[in-house]
Amino acid sequence: MAKAMAAVLCFAFHVLVLFLFVGGAARPLYPLHSRFLEGTRQPLQTTRPYNIAHRGSNGEFPEETLPAYKRAIEEGADFIETDILSSKDGVLICFHDVTLDETTDVGKYRKFANRKRTYEVQGVNITGFFTVDFTLKELQSLRVKQRFPYRDQQYNGKFSIITFEDFIEIALQAPRVVGIYPEIKNPVFINQRVKWGDGKRFEDKFVEILKKYGYQGSYLSKNWLKQPVFIQSFAPTSIIHISNLTDLPKILLIDDTTIPTQDTNQTYWEITSDSYFEYIKNYVVGIGPWKDTVVPAVNNYILTPTDLVTRAHAHNLQVHPYTFRNEYNFIHFNFHQDPYEEFDYWINTIGVDGLFTDFTGSLHHFKNWTSNLPSDDSDEQRASDLLQKITLMVNSYRSR
In whole angstroms, what separates CA 315 from the centre of its chain? 25
Q: Is the pLDDT of residue 15 over 60?
A: no
pLDDT at 382: 53
pLDDT at 27: 30
Q: Residue 1 — very low, low, confident or very high, per pLDDT cuts 50/70/90?
A: very low
pTM listed for this prediction? 0.85
> What residues form DSSP beta bridges with 318?
286
pLDDT at 257: 86
Residues 6+ apart with CB under 8 A from 123: 260
- For the beta carbon of residue 342, count every other beta carbon within 10 angstroms: 26
Cα–Cα–Cα angle for 72, 335, 96, nearest 5°? 35
Q: Is the pLDDT of residue 245 over 70?
A: yes
Cα–Cα–Cα angle for 116, 198, 262, nearest 5°? 50
Domains of the chain: 50-90+161-370 (3.20.20.190)
Q: Is the pLDDT of residue 269 over 60?
A: yes
pLDDT at 109: 98
Determine which of 23-37, 161-175, 290-304 has the lowest per-residue pLDDT on average.
Answer: 23-37
Mean pLDDT to the nearest integer, 232-258? 97
Q: Is the pLDDT of residue 281 over 80?
A: yes
- Reference 100, options 92, 90, 108; nearest CA is 108
Pair 357, 323: CB distance under 8 Å: yes
> What residues form DSSP beta bridges with 231?
250
Mean pLDDT to the nearest integer, 202-229? 98
Tell me the average pLDDT of the chain: 88
Q: Residue 373 — very low, low, confident or very high, per pLDDT cuts 50/70/90?
A: low
How long, in residues, is the chain?
Answer: 400
Q: Residue 363 — very low, low, confident or very high, per pLDDT cuts 50/70/90?
A: very high
Q: Is the pLDDT of residue 75 over 70?
A: yes
